[in-house]
Structure 1
Amino acid sequence: MFRKTFKHILMIIIILFISCSLILKPIRVKGNSMYPVITDGDWVLINKIAYKFHEPKREDIIVFKLKSHNSKYIVKRVIGLENETVEIISSKVYINNYEIHEPYVTYLSNDHFYRRLIPLDHFFVLGDNRKVSVDSRYEEIGFIDKESIIGKIIFKW
């Protein structure tokens, strides 16, 4: 009886481990570009299949990789969606000529990003701590290709 129960429990653990590794991924965040929501050293849990069923939404916090950064994970917030125009004037973000409300941003930078159309299957992402964030405002990041997205952050500890 004990042996049979042990085999069932072991099988359940193995199945859960395999399925979780395909669906969920924990990573440790380096840097303060998402401060105060996520800070340097925090752990986050990524839902790797979130965008298999729907598109990223504005304000989702995502993890992505860039081909030019090899294995480096990047954490940012989705601000602009495909086929929208984005512009930043004196730290205010405009999507399709309307200023968006960003209560999560505490540290602004006084920059400008001239109006551009976000290409199909791409997203405009920004860090919440705009003074230190390297994000879609900069050429090295630019618009994020949907294929580069690893998943959506669903939990932080």
Structure 2
Amino acid sequence: MIFRDKNKKLLLVLLILVVVLIFLGFKNSFFEKKSQVPFQNNKDNIESLKEANCSVKTKEMIVQGDSMAPLIEPGQTIKALFGYYNCHKVKRGDVILFKYAGNKNLIIKIVKGTPGDSFQLEKTSVAWNLYVNNKLVVNSENKAYLFSGVRYKMLHLYEKSYKGIIPSNAYLVLGNKTSGTLDSTRIGLIGKKNIVAKVQLP
């Protein structure tokens, strides 16, 4: 009788141990899965929240000057998206508005080079061509830019200073005239903080 009681007690202890082990295994498995899923969802939620908080103000503006012709003609009305770049990257090919200390009006240009892009000038028989990431830079009419004089010197200064790589938060911008305008050939690379709007082309 005593022997049977001991066996019953031993069996009960073993049963309790098995139940505890099963519970602990289930608990660990549950919390491992629970800790992984929110981490992935948080990343998605952050991106969604960022987009939701992106306040973009659309404003119609009239273009003055012919530096962007024929892509954008003088007197043409454009839509400017102010605040767009607070939550979007500036991309190569974007038409932008930026502020410049030497000009009271906003300046409209095309982004031709972004941070990390390589750029170099190559001499032709008449002037200098510009290459970005080893590709010849052309305007909207597929005509190559040709720079000489002070315009070449300005770009060459930046090319030499930064070893042909556009630094972070800096952009190479040009007008649509192949000889250069009030752009990076005159004022150098522009900072991200000076870009105020993206232009929405018709």
Q: Same fold (TM over 0.5)?
A: yes
Task: Select 2:100's aligned residue among 45, 62, 66.
Answer: 66
1:14 counterpart residue number: none
TM-score computed with the length of structure 1 as normaliser: 0.72
CA distance in 2, matches of 1:95, 1:132: 16
1:92–1:99 contact (8 Å) kept in structure 2: no
Which fold has the larger relative contact order, with Cα–Cα distance below 8 Å and residues 6 or more apart in sequence?
A: 1
1:107–1:129 contact (8 Å) kept in structure 2: no
Q: Which runs of 5+ in 1 are unaligned?
A: 1-21
The CA deviation string for residues 39-76 of structure 1, in whole angstroms up to 9 with x for no partner, is 1111111011221222111111001111232x311010
Q: Which has the higher strand share?
A: 1
Q: State whether structure 2 residue 194 is matched by structure 1 residue 148.
A: yes
1:102 counterpart residue number: 138
1:107–1:131 contact (8 Å) kept in structure 2: no
CA distance in 1, matches of 2:120, 2:59: 33
Shift of 1:137: 1.3
Q: State whether structure 2 residue 174 is matched by structure 1 residue 126.
A: yes
CA 107–87 in structure 1, closer or farther in 2 if over 3 Å, else same: closer
- The count of aligned residue pairs is 132
Q: Which runs of 5+ in 2 are unaligned?
A: 1-55
CA distance in 2, matches of 1:110, 1:67: 24
Shift of 1:28: 1.4
CA distance in 2, matches of 1:65, 1:99: 28
1:87–1:93 contact (8 Å) kept in structure 2: yes
Q: Helix, strand or coil: the match of 1:72? A: strand
CA distance in 1, matches of 2:184, 2:137: 18
Q: Which has the higher helix share?
A: 2
1:42-53 to 2 correspondences below 5 Å: 42-53=76-87
1:36–1:129 contact (8 Å) kept in structure 2: no
CA distance in 2, matches of 1:50, 1:76: 16
Larger radius of gyration: 2
1:32–1:132 contact (8 Å) kept in structure 2: no
CA distance in 1, matches of 2:139, 2:102: 32
Q: Which amino acid aligns with 1:109?
A: L
CA 25–41 in structure 1, closer or farther in 2 if over 3 Å, else same: same
Shift of 1:132: 5.2
Q: Which amino acid aligns with 2:86?
A: K
TM-score computed with the length of structure 2 as normaliser: 0.57
RMSD of Structure 2 on Structure 1 (CA): 2.4
CA distance in 1, matches of 2:172, 2:145: 17
Q: Which amino acid aligns with 1:145?
A: G
Q: State whether structure 2 residue 74 is matched by structure 1 residue 40.
A: yes
CA distance in 2, matches of 1:107, 1:52: 32
